[in-house]
Structure formats: structure tokens, C-alpha cells
Chain A
Amino acid sequence: MKANLTIRWIMICLIWACPLILTHWNINKIAITMAEIEKDEIVRLDDLFWKNNSGNISKVLTKKDSLALPIESINFSLLSVENSLKVLASKHKFNEVQMESIPGQTSDSSTPLTLYFEGPIEGILPWLKNLENELPYLMIRHFKITTDPFSKRAKFQLQLYFRYIINDSVNPT
């Protein structure tokens, strides 16, 4: 008799366990479906954004790509950068151009450079503008000017970061 009573209680417990399991399952299902709906809404908004801003997106991505130079070898690239800087300096009548690199501080994506040159003080602003436009992968971190007021010439010392992406598929030509 006592066993019957216990069996009945076990049956009731099992029956009540089903609603608990079903409730858990239902809550879980609601959460999953709501997450999918939310994801769908995000995708829809992304789609809308894409349709309205695809031109701007490509410009931004291009600009972002220009902030790092795809290279194969750091040493070859440094020669190329030095050459470019010299060309840029000669355009603005700067001379005594020297570039030094600090190999110990090279990382996977950038290497510090120090650039020295001298020339007319009024040429520095156009030079900086050209540097930003033509060599955007060179980021100035420190800039020192020492002027001579009588000759209107100055000595310039720049510390730069050369930012790059090592890419094996870059054509050496």
C-alpha cells in the first residue's frame, strides 16, 4: 500500500517534470527564434546600408588599404621608400636627405624610420601635403624643425612609421 502511494507520487513527479521540460524547451525556442529575427533585422539594415552607401564603402576601404603598403620584403621596400622620399624632397628643393631605419623595433606591420633633410622653410607645408597624399603609409610620429631666421632655411628631423602588409603575391615589378 505504501509502495502504491510512493508509485503514485513518482508518477505525479514525472508528469510535473514534463511541464518543466516543455517550459524550458519553449523558452529556449523563443530565445533562438528572437535571436534569428534580430539577426534578420540586422542583415536587412546592413542590406539597406549597403544599397545607400556602397560607393562610400568602397572609398573608405580603398583609403584604409592605402594606409599600409603591400610588400614582399622589408629591405627592398625601405629602399623604395627612401627613393620616393628623396624624389619628393628634391621636388621641394630640399637636400641632404638621409633616412635611417631602426631594425630592432620592426614589427609585423610597421617599422620606425628617421628622416633628415634641410631646405627652405616655406617648402615644408607643401612637402607635408604631398607626403600625406602620395605616401599615406608613412605616419609621422615626431617632427622637429630647427630654423635659421637669417637664411630662412631649416633643418628637419622626422620620425615616421612605415606601415606595410607583407604579401607574397605582390608582383616585384
Chain B
Amino acid sequence: MFIERKLLTEYPNLHDIKHFFDFTFSQTGMENLKVNVFFLQDSRAFKLYQKLSEINLNPARISTPALLWEQKLIKIIPDFDIGGTCLVHLLSLECFLYFFFQGRLLFSRSITIPDFQKEPAENSSDLSLESPNKFSVLTYEINQSLYLFSQKIKSDMDKIYLLSSDIGNTQLLSDNLGREVIDLGIDVPDIEALQESPGISEYLGPVGSFNTVDLSPSKLHLNLTHSSLKKMLEWKPVQTVGLVVGLILIFLLAMESLFLWKWSHVTRDQMVKNGSMSGINQKQIIQQYSGALDQILAETDRPSPRRVIINIGRSIPDNTWITDMDIETETNPAVAINGVVRASGADQLKDTFSILLKNLNRYFRGTRSLSIQDIDFKVDKSKVEEAYNNFLFTLKFDLP
């Protein structure tokens, strides 16, 4: 964001510059960490890119011969990353000057060479014979650039290399410059051959010395990509993987769906075959049976008055009789008994009640265990006999 803002500030007329920049880091010492920013600054480049985009020819990687040379010279020139290096690329009608310092491009220039061949001259077929005039121009331009180089980095140029199809040009340039010029020593297309087809020469220009190895892989040399295209290229592997995985999943799940569809049909056919689908009437009867069973169970769970009377009759001792009996079977099943005990005294009365309670606890299991405190009694004074007393008692308990 900082670089983008700085570029937009420095080049306010180039709005698209924010899409065409990149940067690298370089470190010469322990602390000299540098950020090298490279970007397009020619408005024609943006227009060209726009025109190409309109016809769906988006350049994926944009670079310059100078940046390609930077990468190529690392392999060719020993100690390229030490001091200053100049490369003179001499073509038939133009010359390219590249200036590097510590292995990094500092600046580059292109010089149009005047067409000396058009002037009448003896032995005009030999290009080298005309070289004095050509090399005078070159010498002037190179010296100017070397001065600019020394101004920029406060240091002199260490080595000058020449790339030319004619090896004799190295000596001529060296003589003119008055310092050593080294032949780069790589094969270049023959200028004379190119002169026969000037169209190709014009077409190739400064990139004529590069081959496919120099251009690939692209990550080795500095290049620019439109930010949107760069983003698209960055996301392309993710999108491709997502697409492929999604399609594989669709295929697998579709197979599963097909299997499940067949499975459900087989199951349904089996059910029809077994007659399960036609057993609705039978199912209704079984449901009615279930309901009826519940109702009958509820009925049998209710205390039966007949059973209560029988059990109370079994529980009553001989000297006891019931005067009133109240049996409730509905909401809170319970029984209330009023009776008379004929006893000679407290001991017999107590024994009688003990037998009564013991029998009631025996025949009415499932209820709270009855004790003597549950019985309320009093003497019946209306009927007094000599040896016995009648005791009126009341007892109430819940039914199971």
C-alpha cells in the first residue's frame, strides 16, 4: 500500500500504475536491506495493455531486455555482483547500453546509430570498415553514460562487455574508448544475415540474444503482471483444485444417490412382495386390541368391592363384627370400617386389634402398613354386660 501510494503520488497522470508494479528485496551487507521497486512508467505501455486486453490478449508477464540481461549475466560473468558492469549490445541500426551495479540494473539506454551505409564509401560491403564513424558516435554516448553512472554511484565502471556479431568490433570499441572492452562470448544472430531480412532484425531487436531458457521459468527474472491478472493466477491453482474436488464429489455422491435410489426401490418391492403394505386392516385390529388391553388392565387395576369384602371378612376376629363399611374405588381407593369388639378388658381388646391389623396387613399388601394408632375406639356405654364391654372402633385405610 505504501509503494502504491508513493507511485500514485509521483506519477499522478498514470492511474493504472497501481496495477503494474512489483518489488524485490536485496541485501548487500548485514544492515543494507533494500527494496527494489520496478514498474511501468510509459503511458504507451498502459494503452498497449488496454488495447490487448480488449481483444482478450492479456500479457501475463511483462519484462524488459535489461531485466532479462540481469538474470542472464549472473550466469555468464563471474563477479557480476561486485562493482559496476556495462554491457554494450550492438545491433545493425541501434545499440543498447545496460549499466549494472552489484548485480542490479541501474539504468539502460538505446542509441540509434546513423545509417552510414547510405553514404558512398569504398568497400561499403564491410561494416567494420565504416566503424570509425559509427564507433565515434558510440564512444561519445558510452562516455556520457559512464559519466552518469559515476555520478549516480560515486564509483567508476569496472568492466565493459560488448555483444556483437562481429568479434572485430570489440577491438575497435576498445581503441575508441581507450580502455579494455571484453567480448561477452555468446552466440548472437549474424548481423549480416539479419541485414538480408531487416524485418526480422527490426522485429527481434534487443531480445534477439535470448532463448527460451532465458525466459523460463518466469520466476527467475523480474517481470510484471497486472494486479487483477496476478490475483487470478495466484488463485488459479486453488480454484482448479476446488473445481476438480467438487466434480469428484458430485460424481461420488451421484453414485451414492443412484445406489440409494435402487436400494429404496428394492426395499419397497420386497415390502409389497411380503404383503406389508396391505396389512393396514390387521394393524388397525392390533391397535384396537392394544387400546382394549389398556382399558381392561385399568379395569382390573381398580379395587374390586367383592374382593375387599372377602378380605375384610377374613381379617375380622371372632369377637368382632362390622356395623358399617364404606368402600371407595374411584379417585382415592380407600375403605372405612366401623365395628364393635366384645372384649373383657384392655388386654383382650389389644389382642383383638393386633389380630385384626395383622390380618389386614396380610390381605391388603401394597398399602401402608397399619398400626394400632390407626384405630380409634371407645367404650359403648349403652350396652354394658357383666364380664364384657363393647368397644366401638373406627378404622380407615387406603386400598392398593
Task: Tell me the A residues contacting B by CB distance below 8 Å.
Answer: 1-2, 4-5, 8-9, 11-12, 15-16, 18-19, 22-23, 25-26, 29-30, 32-33, 36-37, 39-40, 43-44, 46-47, 49-50, 57, 60-61, 63-64, 67, 124-125, 128-129, 132, 139-147, 149
For chain A, what secondary structure do more than half of its interface residues adopt (helix, strand, loop), or is it mixed? helix
- Say whether B228 contacts A5, CB under 8 Å: yes
State in angstroms the CA–CA spacing of A129 and B307 once bound together. Answer: 10
Q: A1-B58, A32-B264 are in contact. Are A145 and B253 (CB under 8 A)?
A: no
Q: Which of B235, B260, B291, B295 contacts A26 (CB 8 A)?
A: B260
Question: What's the interface size class on B, roughly?
Answer: 35 or more
- Say whether B257 contacts A37, CB under 8 Å: no
State in angstroms the CA–CA spacing of A124 and B325 once bound together. Answer: 13
| Centre residue among A43, A46, A50, A125 by max chain B CB count within 10 A | A43
List of B residues within 8 angstroms of A60 by Cβ: 289, 292-293, 296
Q: Which of B229, B246, B309 contacts A1 (CB 8 A)?
A: B229
| Centre residue among B235, B267, B286 by max chain A CB count within 10 A | B286
State in angstroms the CA–CA spacing of A32 and B260 once bound together. Answer: 11
List of A residues within 8 angstroms of B247 by Cβ: 15
Q: A22 — nearest CB in chain B belongs to which residue?
A: B253
> Is B167 positioned at the interface, with any CB of A under 8 Å from its CB?
no
Chain B contacts with A in 263-310, Cβ cutoff 8 A:
263-264, 267-268, 270-271, 274, 276, 279, 282-283, 285-286, 288-289, 291-293, 295-296, 299, 302, 304-306, 309-310
List of A residues within 8 angstroms of B226 by Cβ: 1
List of B residues within 8 angstroms of A145 by Cβ: 309, 322, 324-325
List of A residues within 8 angstroms of B296 by Cβ: 60, 63-64, 67
Q: A12-B246, A15-B250, A147-B324 are in contact. Are A47 and B268 (CB under 8 A)?
A: no
Report A12 CB to chain B, min CB distance, Å: 5
> Is B239 positioned at the interface, with any CB of A under 8 Å from its CB?
yes
List of A residues within 8 angstroms of B305 by Cβ: 128, 140, 143
> Is B59 positioned at the interface, with any CB of A under 8 Å from its CB?
no
- Say whether A29 contacts B329, CB under 8 Å: no
Given A19-B249, A64-B295, A141-B328, 8 more A-B residue pairs with CB atoms under 8 Å apart are A1-B229, A12-B243, A15-B250, A36-B268, A47-B279, A50-B285, A128-B305, A140-B305
Q: B310 — nearest CB in chain A belongs to which residue?
A: A125
- Say whether A37 contacts B267, CB under 8 Å: yes
Chain B contacts with A in 186-205, Cβ cutoff 8 A:
none
State in angstroms the CA–CA spacing of A15 and B251 once bound together. Answer: 11
> Is B31 positioned at the interface, with any CB of A under 8 Å from its CB?
no
Q: Which of A9, A15, A25, A141 contacts B246 (CB 8 A)?
A: A15
- Say whether A61 contacts B283, CB under 8 Å: no
Q: A49 — nearest CB in chain B belongs to which residue?
A: B286
List of A residues within 8 angstroms of B256 by Cβ: 22, 26
List of A residues within 8 angstroms of B340 by Cβ: 149
> Is B378 positioned at the interface, with any CB of A under 8 Å from its CB?
no
Q: A41 — nearest CB in chain B belongs to which residue?
A: B276
State in angstroms the CA–CA spacing of A22 and B53 once bound together. Answer: 40
27 contacts between A and B (CB under 8 A): A1-B228, A1-B232, A4-B232, A12-B239, A15-B247, A19-B250, A22-B256, A25-B257, A29-B257, A33-B263, A37-B267, A40-B274, A46-B279, A49-B286, A57-B286, A60-B292, A61-B288, A64-B291, A67-B296, A67-B299, A128-B306, A141-B329, A141-B330, A142-B329, A143-B327, A146-B324, A147-B323
